[in-house]
Amino acid sequence: MIQSMTGYGKSVLQLPTKKVTIEIKSLNSKNLDLNVRVPSYYREKELEVRKGLASALVRGKVDFSIYVEMTADETSTTVNKGVVGEYIQQLRNIVQSGSSDDIELLKMAVRMPDALKTEREELDDEEWGEINKHIQAATKDIIQYRKDEAASLEEDFKQRILNIQQYLEEVRSMDDDRIEHVKARLQKAISDLKVDVDENRFEQELIYYLEKLDINEEKVRLANHLDYFLKQLATPDSNGKKLGFIVQELGREINTIGSKANFAPMQKSVIQMKNELEKIKEQILNVL
């Protein structure tokens, strides 16, 4: 079963002093492009998170974020009173006026370096265990999103492959008429020249010319590639790269048939096949 590379997963954990929100977003990409944003006190777990996401999501442009919102009355950030007091005194000396407004000086002082100090929060293993469970939940969420997104893609692929198969049948059905049309056109061209022609030599040249226009091998290969595409589409694993390679082979055979057709009705069917294949190419880029 194929998966899309577009997806979104989210999980929210409420802890005694904080609310932790985990979000994962992904878009299509040739390889895995992983961007992880976590608070500094979870940074030691970043490598572990990256490995887990790389194993589960495989490919795509993935953005992973952990947002923390403090909900407790207490805060780990406090005013560094000594530093702020020193800043205010220095500002008073610069102003050199008894009428200086201490409130305005305080506003300026708290913007200075080291005016606020934050006690570094140590990583709690039990807390991280809960967060990790929610990371797994968000990962499952985005994988399910990818599968749901791919379900409509799979139906579209099947329909377009079926359409190409039908156009291929049209090509098969008109191949005899095409050969007769080519023969008649060449014979008319010779008769219009009003010259004597060696019939044996003409037959030999005609056979040589028709061999160059023969598309039986291309028709067989195209049919096989179409069947192989559907077979790979039905496998348990999602392999967008392999499907992409098959699509390239489909395009090669269709183009060859078009270049050899030399028959307007057949060219119309070939154009329809190319149109269906282009729609597949657009969507195959989003398959994992």
Name the residue among 275, 279, 274 with its Cα closest to residue 255: 274
Element at 159 (helix H, strand E): helix 125-173
- Which band of pLDDT confidence, cut at 50, 70 and 90, is reported for residue 254? very high
pLDDT for 261 equals 86
In angstroms, the CA 109 to CA 114 distance is 10
pLDDT for 17 equals 82
* Mean pLDDT for the stretch of residues 162-186: 87
- Sequence-distant (6+) residues with CB within 8 A of 9 are 22, 23, 24, 137, 138, 139, 140, 141, 142, 143, 145
Name the residue among 70, 73, 75, 69 with its Cα closest to residue 21: 69
Cβ-in-10-Å burial (0-12, 13-18, 19+) of 44 comes to exposed
* Mean pLDDT for the stretch of residues 90-119: 66
- pTM summary value: 0.75
pLDDT for 74 equals 58
pLDDT for 72 equals 64
CB 38 within 8 A of CB 49: yes
- Which band of pLDDT confidence, cut at 50, 70 and 90, is reported for residue 178? confident
In angstroms, the CA 13 to CA 134 distance is 7
CB 114 within 8 A of CB 80: yes
* Mean pLDDT for the stretch of residues 84-101: 68
In angstroms, the CA 118 to CA 131 distance is 23
Whether residue 52 is predicted with pLDDT greater than 70 in this model: the reply is: yes
Q: Minimum mean pLDDT among 21-25, 42-46, 48-52, 112-116: which range?
A: 112-116
Tokens of 226: 């179409």
